[in-house]
Structure 1
Amino acid sequence: MSEHPNVMRMREGYEAFGKGDLDRLRDLWRPDIRWHEPGGNQLSGHYTGTDEVFDLFRRLFELTEGSFRAEVRATFADDTDGVAVVRLTAHRGDRDIDVVAAHLFRYEDGLVAEFWEAHTDQPAVDAFYA
């Protein structure tokens, strides 16, 4: 049985993110993508459009001194929804973070239209990015 095309797109997206290939991410996302970061820290909030999301990524990598990594553990998708279970690691100075998150995707016409993140330890994430 072959993978759903949105599972393949999800994997391509994580690979592109890991390489810093923003052009490939633009190909996989709607230009008006809506991105939701949970919690109460300096990265929390709602972002609209690829430029705002890419600015979020820039801030993320600045804060983590380029150390942020997203290790995909599992992916699931159908025509409209997708989920990735992801291990997130990074360091900031002498602080480290290592949490698991669920990444939720909503697809429209094969492109990511919306993204939500849910961490297994939101207080630790908030403290790390405080």
Structure 2
Amino acid sequence: MSNHPNFDRTQAVLDAVRQGDHAPTFDLLAGDVAWENGPGAGPWHRARGQDDLALMLMEFGASLGGTFHQDGRCIYADDRMAISLIHETGEAPGGDRFDNLAVYISRFRSDGEVDRVWTVDLDAEHCEAFWQKNPGTPSKDFS
């Protein structure tokens, strides 16, 4: 039995991100994508549109001194959604370790683009404690 095409597309994006290449992510997303993060994203809760998401990713990565890394696996996909499990790690400039396991839920439009993404952190308490100790400094209000 073969995978659903959205499973393969999602896993290909996750494989690229694992290698540090976020460009394929934007090929999958609608221009007006709505992205809503759980507490693992610290002050970067919501992004509206690809430009906002790119800024959020750059600032989030910079807040972890360029050490942010994601290792993801698509666990389910169909015509409407993809569900992925993402292990996120990094280190704050002061040495505190960021280590989060999250579920990403992506919603596909009928044209195959993702128009909405929700992230759910499986260790929300750790994430909240990390960001209380290491507050990020977004250049805009991402709430």
Range into which the TM-score falls when normalised by the shorter chain? 0.7 to 0.9
Percent of counterpart pairs with the same letter?
Answer: 23
Unaligned runs of 5+ in 2: 136-143
- Aligned residue for 2:17, secondary structure, equals helix
- The answer to whether structure 1 residue 121 and structure 2 residue 129 are counterparts is no
Residue deviations 1:23-81, cap 9 Å, x none?
x32321111110001238322x2211100001110011101111111112442101001
Name the TM-score, length of structure 1 as normaliser: 0.88
- The answer to whether structure 1 residue 28 and structure 2 residue 28 are counterparts is yes
- Aligned residue for 1:76, secondary structure, equals strand
**Aligned position for 2:138:** none
Which has a greater percent of strand? 1
**Aligned position for 1:111:** 113
Of 89-98 and 31-40, deviating more is: 31-40
**Aligned position for 1:6:** 6
State the Cα RMSD in Å: 1.7
The 1:11/1:74 distance shift into structure 2, 3 A limit, reads closer
Name the TM-score, length of structure 2 as normaliser: 0.81
Q: Which whole-Å CA distance do the structure 2 matches of 1:50 and 1:42 have between them? A: 18
Q: How does 1:45-84 map to 2 (within 5 A)?
A: 45-84=45-84
Contact 1:41 1:127 in 2 (8 A): no
